[in-house]
Amino acid sequence: MRFIEVDLNGTVVRAQLNDDLAPETCQAIWDALPFEGRAVHAQISGDMFRMLDHAPIPDMKVESGISFQHPGQIIYYPGIKEIAFATGVARFRGAPGVDGAVGRLTPLAEIEGDFSAFHKAGYDLQFDGARPIRFRKAADQETPFRYPEEQGRKIEVDVDGVKLTATLLEKLAPETVEAFTKILPVEGRITNTAWSGDITRFWGPVGPEGELGLDDITEPENGQTLHWPGYIYYFSGWKGIRICYGDNGCMGGSWGAASMTPLARFDGDWGAFRQIAKSLFVEGAKPMSFRLLDVTE
């Protein structure tokens, strides 16, 4: 567990290097610290900004290559030695016509906690132009990674006896959350998905396709077509739940990306779910249930 600090024109965040996923790249970055450059908006990649100057490390290969990004993720593109930051709805893209315009990237690090001020500073780059960005070893190497915190009612997610909690995203999807809580508790099973990568499918108690019975919810509510790890989604097209745990692209009709409603988000360290999810295509379906937690629990 190693942490760096990133200072974007005075706005500082701490990030944990993904040594387990990209050991060679992380070591090269660590050895190069401190270094600095100029940050600019990514222009064609959504809520993303990048360091305009090349990272001062040797040529590297992509490690644990990913195609999709999520908020708080720092990525590295070895092809042009570029460090980029996803702070919202974003997907890394190269210049139109360039080979590998949407290529595989190295997941370099994760920004901890509430990074809304950092997101705002990155967003403002499109108005302010290039601003200084600095990288250094974090002074605090002891405090564990601070996971993002959501405010709202909690549910318990039980997967094959492993119990986790998640926060319902009532501000984003009040109607869907209300309909979902009315059917709780609910039991079913979980499998991998047929088309979508690192997304699992919850088979509920209604109908042959594992529907939940939320018949009044017919359209996505604040729907997302980029799906983020640790989020529980309601897929209104199939009237069921999907849970993202890694690199994915949930397919909808006509082979396009599905728009799904962000229903809840896992709290804290949810790595146990990821491990179970990865085992499903070998071990088969596992039992899964949801229940609403009392505020005193």
Choose among 10, 5, 9, 75: nearest CA to 33: 5
* Residue in the block written with tokens 């930051």: 85
Could you report the per-residue pLDDT of 241-291, keeping only the tens digit for each? Answer: 999 999 876 665 545 678 999 999 999 999 999 999 999 989 999 999 999
Share of the chain above pLDDT 70, in %: 94
Distance CA(188)–CA(282), nearest Å, equals 19
Choose among 171, 243, 235: nearest CA to 209: 235
pLDDT confidence band for 98 (50 / 70 / 90): very low
Phi first, then psi: give them for residue 189, nearest 5 degrees.
-145, 165
Q: Are 223 and 209 in contact (CB under 8 A)?
A: no
Over residues 9-17, the mean pLDDT reads 98
Outline where DSSP puts E strands in the chain. 3-8, 11-17, 35-41, 46-51, 73-77, 82-90, 106-111, 131-137, 154-159, 162-168, 186-192, 197-203, 231-235, 240-248, 261-266, 286-292
Number of C-beta neighbours around residue 256 at 10 A: 10
Choose among 136, 124, 179, 155: nearest CA to 289: 155
pLDDT confidence band for 61 (50 / 70 / 90): very high
Over residues 186-201, the mean pLDDT reads 91
Structural domains for the chain: 3-137 (2.40.100.20), 154-292 (2.40.100.20)
Phi first, then psi: give them for residue 105, nearest 5 degrees.
-125, 160
286: helix, strand or coil: strand
193: helix, strand or coil: coil
DSSP 201-246: EEE-SBTTTTB---TT--S-SS-BSS--TTEEEEETTTTEEEEEEE
pLDDT confidence band for 100 (50 / 70 / 90): very low
Q: Are 173 and 259 in contact (CB under 8 A)?
A: no
* Amino acid letter for position 146: R
Over residues 81-90, the mean pLDDT reads 96
Choose among 48, 22, 35: nearest CA to 105: 22
The token duo for 217 is 């919810």
Whether the per-residue pLDDT at 128 is higher than 50: the answer is: yes
Could you report the per-residue pLDDT of 18-37, keeping only the tens digit for each? Answer: 999 999 999 999 999 999 99
Q: Go through the chain and tell me how many residues it has.
A: 297
